[in-house]
Amino acid sequence: INRQVINFGAGPAKLPPSVLLETQKELIDYKGLGISVLEMSHRSSDFTKILNTTEVLLRELLDVPQNYKVLFLQGGGSGQFSGVPLNLIGLKEAKCADYIVTGAWSAKAAKEAEKYGKVNIVHPKLGSYTEIPDPSSWNLNPEASYVYYCANETVHGVEFQFVPNVEEAVLVCDMSSNFLSRPIDISKFGVIFAGAQKNIGCAGVTVVIVREDLLGHAVKECPTILDYKIQAGNASLYNTPPCFSIYVMGLVLEWIKNNGGAASMEKLSILKSEMIYNVIDQSNGLFVCPVEKSCRSRMNIPFRIGSAKGDNVLEKQFLEKAVQLGMLSLKGHRSVGGIRASLYNAVTIEEVQKLVDFMIDFKETHQ
Ligand code: PMP
């Protein structure tokens, strides 16, 4: 594929071109069956093979221990904002949960959880989402059923560079926007979930990795399709799963494997994000990333240009020029404004270099 544009979108995001080509090739006739994956029964042996291969690849890439189930669900990351409390809040009698709130997505998750139990934000409310409060200051409740955090805040660009140590508590993590961008020690978690549409595929499927002993504790009001035990017992086929999205995920996972796996994705992510942060830090204040250095995201880099007061003229110029140069979706999230460059796995070093060149050029013209 010879594309004239670079997609820096925050999700749905760029897919590896080889995956798009494979999807195109197989769209009408999947491996000689004469029908498309779009038309295939989810209970057919051919789809079962796709589902199984995808799970095997995911387990291999993240070294998922045997005592964890991998589920492919619908409802997005937002569905899991409810799915997590519905399945886990009843683990302890107090029906309460600890939340670490470091940005828009964990804030939304905490708000949703309030519908089902008591929510304890473990640190004083943050004035702005630009840091992770020091873990030594967290006030964890021993009666909490689980401790929740978001590994990478997609809107605010705040990423945990460590796994919180919560001792024996059940740790739950939203990894929607940095899943498979680095190796992780799954055994430290009770539940991990991630929507596919950033690093591992297209919208429609959400991966849930859940430790087996946490199955079977859902509150009785929990919708059947969100019940981890029922979904695990039916190998994610309680109802029709998002078949095509699972198929695309399988192709992306294969691409990740062929490109060196999670460790390689991490190396590239460090390199790519440093390229942009270096330009920001060496711009004499023209580009400003508000996030504290220790928790800057490798995936989503938010920054402002100039004084960034109100309707910023320079930011407008920057975005217009970027589009002219074929660099798409660099506009910051509507809730925060400014610029945001998302550098998911499929975005190449060469593409990031083009953004670097443009930023340097812009700086030289406007400083
Ligand atoms: N969590 C994070 C970290 C996200 O970035 C997003 C979406 N951008 C969500 C949850 C919500 O995902 P969805 O739109 O799939 O519900």
The set of catalytic residues is 105, 174, 198
Mutate to test the pocket of ligand 1, among 105, 178, 198 (most ligand atoms within 8 A of CB): 105
Q: Using omega within 30 degrees of 0 as the cis cutoff, is the peptide bond preceding 12 cis?
A: yes
The CA distance from 367 to 363, in Å, is 6
Ranges of residues in the chain with a pLDDT under 50 are: none
Question: Which letter does DSSP use for residue 32 in this model?
Answer: G
Tell me the C-alpha distance between 49 and 82, whole Å: 30
Single out the residue of 362, 344, 341 nearest to residue 277, CA to CA.
Answer: 341
**Sequence-distant (≥ 6) Cβ neighbours of residue 19 within 8 angstroms:** 248, 251, 252, 255
Q: List the end-to-end C-alpha distance of the chain, in Å, as a whole number.
A: 37
Distances (CA, A) of 190 to 68, 148, 167, 289: 9, 10, 12, 33
Helix axes 76-88, 104-113, angle to 10 degrees: 40
Q: How many residues does the chain have?
A: 367
Mean of per-residue pLDDT scores for the chain: 96
Residue nearest to atom 7 of ligand 1 (CA): 77
- Token pair listed for 234: 């039916």
> Among residues 212, 217, 206, which one has the least CA distance to residue 189?
212
The alpha carbon of 150 and the centre of ligand 1 are apart by a number of angstroms equal to 10
Which two three-digit tokens encode residue 322? 């970027």
DSSP state of 328: E
Identity of residue 187: S
> CA nearest 119: which of 141, 103, 91?
141
Per-residue confidence (pLDDT) for residue 309, from 0 to 100: 55
ipTM of the complex: 0.99
Eight-state DSSP code of residue 332 = P
- Output the CA 110–ligand 1 centroid distance in Å: 14
pLDDT at 120: 98
Contact 11, 154 (CB under 8 A): yes
Runs of H (alpha helix) within 146-193: none
Q: What is the largest CA-CA distance in the chain?
A: 62
Whole-number Å distance, alpha carbon 195 to ligand 1 midpoint, is: 7
- Give the integer Cα–Cα distance in Å for 196 and 207: 7
Say what the pLDDT of residue 2 is: 80
| Pick from 70, 35, 74, 42: nearest CA to 54 | 70
Task: Characterise 366 by phi-psi region: left (phi > 0), alpha (psi -120 to 50), beta (else).
Answer: alpha
- Residue pointed to by tokens 């949703």: 112
CA distance 147 to 113: 12
For 289-311, the pLDDT digits (tens) are: 999 999 999 999 999 998 655 56
Q: What is the pLDDT of residues 238-252, one digit of tens each?
A: 999 999 999 999 999
Q: What is the pTM of this model?
A: 0.98
Residues with CB under 6 A from ligand 1: 11, 76-78, 105, 150, 154, 174, 176-177, 195
pLDDT of residue 307: 67
What's the pLDDT tens digit per position in 23-60? Answer: 999 999 999 999 999 999 999 999 999 999 999 999 99
Nearest to 83 by CA among 235, 178, 219: 219
CA dihedral 203, 206, 207, 210 (to 10 degrees): 170
Atom of ligand 1 at shortest range from CA of 153: 3
Which residues lie across from 310 on neighbouring strands? none
Q: Could you give the residue ranges of the DSSP H alpha helices within the chain?
A: 17-27, 45-62, 76-88, 104-113, 228-233, 243-258, 261-281, 313-324, 349-366
Q: What ligand 1 atom has the least distance to the C-alpha of 81?
A: 10
Residues in Cβ contact with 190 at an 8 Å cutoff, skipping those fewer than 6 apart:
88, 146, 170, 171, 172, 210, 211, 214
- Ligand 1 pocket mutation pick from 78, 152, 249 by most atoms within 8 angstroms of CB: 78
Distance 286 CA to ligand 1 centre (A): 30
